[in-house]
Amino acid sequence: MDSWGTRRAIVVGAQGGVGQAICDGLRRRGASIVAVVRRPYSVIPSGCEVVLSPLDSPQAVLAACAAAALGAVDALFVASGAYAGGTAIEDTEAETFERLMWTNAGLPFYVLKGLLGPLRNARGHAVLIGALAAEEPRSGQAAYAASKSALHSMVRSAGRELQGSGATVNALLPSVIDGAENRRAMPQRDPAQWVSPVRLAELALSLAEPAALDLQGALIPVRAGL
C-alpha cells in the first residue's frame, strides 16, 4: 500500500455518509485530513483539520479551497451531493433544479477550479462521486440526472486537462447507497442490494493509490457486488 502517512487529503462533504467513511479510511491509513464542511454540527470527524464554509457561492467555495490548499493537496475527495426526484419536469420547482445544479455541478466545478492547480503540483489524485442515475435516468429524475451528468462531463474534461501531469481525476458512479435516509425512504427495499458506503470509500481511496495512476477521467459504475 502507498504511504498515506505522508499524504494530505481534502474531503469535501466530510459529514455525509460516504464522506465520513472516506475520512475513517484515511485515518486508518494515517493520512492528514482536511475536512471541508458547511456547518459545524454532529460529526466533524475527530483528528481532522476543518475548513468551515457555507459553500453556497463560487467565492465561498474558492475561499474554502484556498484555505484547504495551504498545505499540499495529495488527494481530493468530493463526496458532497444532493438528491431530489420523483417529480415530473412540469412539477419540478425552479428552486429544486437550482439547488441540485449548484450542489452536484456548480460546487464540484469550483472545487476543481480551486484545487486542480495544487493537485497538479503534488501529482495528487481527485475522486468525485457522481451517480449511476445520470447514465441511466428514470422518469422523475431529470433535474438530478442533469446535475450529475454535468459533473460526469467535467470529470472527463478535467481528465484531459491533467493528462501527462502525474495527477489524476476520476469519478465513482454508485447506484443506491445504503444509509439511514434511503432506509427511511424505501423501507420495502433490501439494503443488501445497495452499495455499502464503506466499500465505496475503500474504492475511492484505491483510486488515489499508485496502482490507479493510469486511470484518468474515468466514470466507474458501482453497483452492490453481493
Residues that bind ligand NAP (CB under 6 A): 13, 15-19, 38-39, 55, 79-83, 103, 107, 129, 131, 174, 176-177, 179, 182
Nearer to ligand NAP, 26 or 129 (CB): 129
- Quote the least distance from Cβ 38 to ligand NAP, whole Å: 5
Question: Do 100 and 160 touch, CB atoms closer than 8 A?
Answer: no
- Quote the least distance from Cβ 162 to ligand NAP, whole Å: 21
Question: Do 51 and 64 touch, CB atoms closer than 8 A?
Answer: yes
- Quote the least distance from Cβ 185 to ligand NAP, whole Å: 9
Residue type, 80: S
Nearer to ligand NAP, 198 or 213 (CB): 198
- Quote the least distance from Cβ 32 to ligand NAP, whole Å: 20
Question: Do 83 and 17 touch, CB atoms closer than 8 A?
Answer: no
Closest CA to 55 of 16, 98, 108, 15: 108
Give the integer Cα–Cα distance in Å for 66 and 114.
7
Nearer to ligand NAP, 8 or 152 (CB): 152
Nearer to ligand NAP, 122 or 208 (CB): 208
- Quote the least distance from Cβ 85 to ligand NAP, whole Å: 11
Give the integer Cα–Cα distance in Å for 124 and 117.
10
Nearer to ligand NAP, 73 or 176 (CB): 176
Nearer to ligand NAP, 32 or 80 (CB): 80
Q: Phi-psi bin for 81: left (phi > 0), alpha (psi -120 to 50), beta?
A: left
Considering only CA atoms, give the Rg of the chain: 17
Give the integer Cα–Cα distance in Å for 99 and 87.
15
State whether residue 50 is helix, strand or coil: strand
- Quote the least distance from Cβ 6 to ligand NAP, whole Å: 27
Q: Cell 483510486 identifies what position?
A: 207
CA torsion 138-144-147-150 (nearest 10°) is -20
